[in-house]
């Protein structure tokens, strides 16, 4: 009441004055003025965006020590180990650039999630052993204060690899090597197998290797979330954008035999934002290529492979996306709780999923049957013609099954020898690779991350010797073949 009287009284006198004033302040709009004043003070405070017209909060920083291209499990693993092995806290600024924030096409989320030590290369076995140790102690490595512990849903059911007469000798040598490295694998004859797994048909099987512990499958999505949470708490910066360009400078040097070699160095990474032409040049010292199925394209941006074929400049990174299908089916009288991940002699694999008689499986197609990797559409005929007959032959109960769903994902397939590429490029001196694992990247991610971090910080591989996985083998034509690719 009093206020209205005051307003009437003061209003008339103020309105005569207002005609000549500029600011137009009136004591009457007090609340609005106070909030505006607060906003102005907040914008002057440090840490707040000063001018909201050119808001740069979504852009990556202008300088970063390490830029990791690709935010999947391999990229995050490298970021984690870089921060963990650095001598001082916040000594290295790491930026992870990921183009797809929903991870809709990333191989990590679409993976079946298996981990095994049954490889034919000792380094792969060592990587798996390191990774299973990491997964077992994941709540010490990835512990963040005030967050609940991570549950990876690990099923320690093991892998069962079947072999025919022809492959039995190789299987035995592999198992011997795996046991020497410390994996717990047992060899089983068809009679022992039949006793243990009565639902299996032993036709054509001469020998089988069964992982007794430290093998199985887990949920890759929770590993990814756990890593993301931890690296954020360690201070790694994230950016959602696409790497479109590298600005490099070259240096011409002579090697010991007198030939001229052009060495290049990446100085800037151009990160383009989603749905816009806006990009931010990030000055960096090191670039890590962990882009998975698209690593080949990223390598081409850096000029790897641009040169006469047959030379080191002309050697491309032979990693390309390959589409793989995974099917989920239900079989009412199917194998029980003890079912391991069974890999048949012809490449068909399946495992139990949950408690409701559901199974997940698939098969790697041959070179002629390779599907077109342009999209992630599922080919159901592939299951009907190429997977189901073999499943039904190995496990007779699978005659009567019903496919519930299916999905497709990419392998970052190394066309040269199906093994990973780790370490620096000989010519582009500050690009490091952590890609090309052709279907076993997830299970090797902790070990590979540590190897790359050690290479960066110490200059050499310390825990596991990954020198067979360097890029130079593509030029020297030394294949490091992995026989057990599923």
Residues that bind other proteins (CB under 8 A): 47, 57-61, 71, 89, 95, 98, 101-102, 136, 139-140, 143-148, 153-158, 212-214, 216, 219, 221, 225, 228-229, 232-233, 235-240, 326, 328, 330, 332, 336-338, 352-358, 360, 404-405, 407
Nearer to other proteins, 94 or 434 (CB): 94
Pairing of strands 431-435, 279-289: parallel
Nearer to other proteins, 407 or 475 (CB): 407
State the minimum distance, in angstroms, from the CB of residue 354 to other proteins: 3
State the minimum distance, in angstroms, from the CB of residue 330 to other proteins: 5
Cα–Cα distance, 280 to 272 (Å, whole number): 6
Nearer to other proteins, 199 or 475 (CB): 199
- Residue with tokens 């400078």, as numbered in its chain: 249
Sequence length of the chain is: 486
Nearer to other proteins, 104 or 252 (CB): 104
Nearer to other proteins, 138 or 293 (CB): 138
Nearer to other proteins, 115 or 421 (CB): 115
Q: Do 226 and 142 contact (CB within 8 A), yes or no? A: yes
State the minimum distance, in angstroms, from the CB of residue 412 to other proteins: 20
- Residue with tokens 């309105």, as numbered in its chain: 15
Nearer to other proteins, 146 or 372 (CB): 146
- Residue with tokens 């299970």, as numbered in its chain: 443
Nearer to other proteins, 302 or 331 (CB): 331
Closest CA to 264 of 313, 314, 311: 313
Residue 147 neighbours by CB under 8 Å, 6+ apart: 229
Nearer to other proteins, 376 or 480 (CB): 376
State the minimum distance, in angstroms, from the CB of residue 101 to other proteins: 5
Nearer to other proteins, 21 or 405 (CB): 405
Cα–Cα distance, 354 to 349 (Å, whole number): 17
Give me the residues paired with residue 329 across strands. 359, 403
Residue 254 neighbours by CB under 8 Å, 6+ apart: 260, 261
Residue 173 neighbours by CB under 8 Å, 6+ apart: none
Nearer to other proteins, 50 or 354 (CB): 354
State the minimum distance, in angstroms, from the CB of residue 172 to other proteins: 21
State the minimum distance, in angstroms, from the CB of residue 399 to other proteins: 17
């Amino acid at each position: 009441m009093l206020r209205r009287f005051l307003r009437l009284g003061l209003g008339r006198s103020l309105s005569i004055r207002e005609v000549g004033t500029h600011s137009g302040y009136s004591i009457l709009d007090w609340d609005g003025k106070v909030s505006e004043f607060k906003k102005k003070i907040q914008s002057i405070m440090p840490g707040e965006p000063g001018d909201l017209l050119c808001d740069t909060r979504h852009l990556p920083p202008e300088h970063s020590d390490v830029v990791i291209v690709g935010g999947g499990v391999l990229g995050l693993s490298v970021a984690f180990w870089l921060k963990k092995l650095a001598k001082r806290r916040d000594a290295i600024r790491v930026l992870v650039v990921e183009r797809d924030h929903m991870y809709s096409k990333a191989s990590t989320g679409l993976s079946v999630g298996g981990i095994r030590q049954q490889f034919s290369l000792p380094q792969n076995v060592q990587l798996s052993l390191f990774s299973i140790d990491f997964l077992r102690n994941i709540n010490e490595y990835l512990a963040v204060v005030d967050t609940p512990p991570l549950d990876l849903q690990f099923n320690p059911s093991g892998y069962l690899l079947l072999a025919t007469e022809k492959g039995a000798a190789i299987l035995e040598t592999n198992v011997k090597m795996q046991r020497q490295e410390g994996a717990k694998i047992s060899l089983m004859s068809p009679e022992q197998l039949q006793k243990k797994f009565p639902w299996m048909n032993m036709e054509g099987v001469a020998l089988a290797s069964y992982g007794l512990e430290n093998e199985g499958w887990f949920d890759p999505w929770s590993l990814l979330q756990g890593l993301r949470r931890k690296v954020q708490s360690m201070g790694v910066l994230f950016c959602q954008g696409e790497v479109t360009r590298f600005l490099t400078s070259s240096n011409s040097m002579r090697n010991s035999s007198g030939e001229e070699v052009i060495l290049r160095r990446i100085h800037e990474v151009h990160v383009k934002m989603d749905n816009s032409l806006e990009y931010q040049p990030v000055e960096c010292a090191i670039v890590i290529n962990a882009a998975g199925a698209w690593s080949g394209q990223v390598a081409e941006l850096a000029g790897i492979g641009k040169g006469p074929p047959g030379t080191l400049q002309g050697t491309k990174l032979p990693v390309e996306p390959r589409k793989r299908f995974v099917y989920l089916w239900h079989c009412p009288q199917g194998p029980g709780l003890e079912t391991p991940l069974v890999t048949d002699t012809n490449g068909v694999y399946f495992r139990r999923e949950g408690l409701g008689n559901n199974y997940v499986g698939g098969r790697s197609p041959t070179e002629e049957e390779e599907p077109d990797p342009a999209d992630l559409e599922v080919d159901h005929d592939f299951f009907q013609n190429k997977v189901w007959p073999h499943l039904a032959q190995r496990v007779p109960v699978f005659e009567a099954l019903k496919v519930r769903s299916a999905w497709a994902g990419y392998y970052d397939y190394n066309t040269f020898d199906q093994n990973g590429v780790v370490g620096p490029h000989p010519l582009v001196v500050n690009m490091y690779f952590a890609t090309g694992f052709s279907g076993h990247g997830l299970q090797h991610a902790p070990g590979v991350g540590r190897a790359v971090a050690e290479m960066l910080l110490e200059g050499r591989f310390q825990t596991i010797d990954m020198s067979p996985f360097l890029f130079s083998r593509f030029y020297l034509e030394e294949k490091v073949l992995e026989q057990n690719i599923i």
